């Protein structure tokens, strides 16, 4: 887990969410390994690796392909790195090495598996081999393999995040 490298006092990037707001929503923090984190409030319970859409007001909503309609690549993605309960305040990763990403299909590390969206299970990326869902993820490089045929269960895997984003119609 990343450790804070910015000068903000009281930032705990390894801790789960809390019910007390400690920072302004949307605050950014730097972490080890070149990671970037954003302070959010969860609108639902987020498990480790859940992909979220960070709204302008600093809320983290479970990401679904339908959220891309009409906004193209203007979606700020974040990734829960631990359990965050609904209405809690926490830090989500927006860039970095060795971050958890929730997936719902088998992926092979260090290959060119194209991540294409969220399938039937929101907040979980699926590869192109799982079927087209109308969007493509960029800036997410899978570092550890995931072996599952169950497309309804989310499996966290390790990835490098470099300005992760979604684009429609790719």
- Dihedral of the alpha carbons of 55, 56, 59, 63, in degrees to the nearest 10: 10
> pTM for the complete prediction?
0.86
- Both tokens assigned to 79: 């990734």
Q: Long-range pairs for 7-16 at CB < 8 Å and ≥24 separation?
A: 11/37, 11/91, 12/91, 13/37, 13/81, 13/91, 14/81, 14/82, 15/82, 15/90, 16/82, 16/83, 16/84, 16/85, 16/88, 16/90
Q: What is the pLDDT of residue 17?
A: 82
> In this predicted structure, what is the pLDDT of residue 110?
67
pLDDT of residue 125: 80
Query: In whole angstroms, what is the distance from residue 78 CA to residue 125 CA?
Result: 13
Token couple for 44: 């639902």
Q: Mind listing the pLDDT tens digit for each residue in 113-126?
A: 566 666 555 788 87
Q: What is the pLDDT of residues 27-37, one digit of tens each?
A: 999 998 889 99
Q: In which residue ranges of the chain is pLDDT below 50?
A: 170
Residue with tokens 């109308």: 134
């Amino acid at each position: 887990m990343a450790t804070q490298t910015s000068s903000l006092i009281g930032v705990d990037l390894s801790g789960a969410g809390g019910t007390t707001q400690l920072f302004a929503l949307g605050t950014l923090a730097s972490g080890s390994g070149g990671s970037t984190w954003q302070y959010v409030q969860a609108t639902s319970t987020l498990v480790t690796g859940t992909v979220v859409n960070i709204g302008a007001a600093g809320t983290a909503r479970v990401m679904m392909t339908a959220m891309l309609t009409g906004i193209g690549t203007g979606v700020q993605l974040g990734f829960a790195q631990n359990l965050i309960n609904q209405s809690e305040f926490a830090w989500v990763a927006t860039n970095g090495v060795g971050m958890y990403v929730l997936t719902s299909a088998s992926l092979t590390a260090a290959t060119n598996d194209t991540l294409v969206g969220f399938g039937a299970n929101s907040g979980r990326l699926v590869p192109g081999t799982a079927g087209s869902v109308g969007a493509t993820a960029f800036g997410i490089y899978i570092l550890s393999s995931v072996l599952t045929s169950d497309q309804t269960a989310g499996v966290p895997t390790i990835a490098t995040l470099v300005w992760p984003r979604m684009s429609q119609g790719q």
